[in-house]
Amino acid sequence: MANPNDKLPENAPGHYYVDSQCIDCDLCREIAPNNFTRETGKGYSFVYKQPKDAGEERLCRDAMKTCPVDAIGNSGE
């Protein structure tokens, strides 16, 4: 389960976040490319844009459920 006290600093302010458990597997970026991106120098993903509509919200939720190490959290749920 993602830890809100361990959020990566690059995350955009809002409900969704990625914590330091991220293993850079690319699933979130494949599922929700409009919301997740990669920090290439350090090798992990983060939320660069919070979802703006129902479609993006659904994709972010799917990315969170699919994350193999539960590194994606939603502080609004």
In this structure, are residues 11 and 46 in contact, taking their beta carbons and an 8 Å threshold? yes
Buried b (16+ CB within 10 A) or exposed e, 37-49: ebbeeeebbbbee
**What stretches in the chain show pLDDT beneath 70?**
77
Looking at the domain assignment, is residue 69 inside a domain?
yes
pLDDT of res. 32: 98
The 8 Å CB, 24+ separation contacts for 37-44 are 39/8, 39/10, 44/8, 44/18, 44/20
Give me the pLDDT at residue 76, please.
85
Give residue 77's pLDDT. 59
CATH assignment of the domain containing 39:
3.30.70.20
| Cross-strand partners of 47 | 36
Domain membership of residue 4 (yes or no) is no
Could you tell me the residue range of the domain that residue 27 belongs to? Answer: 11-74
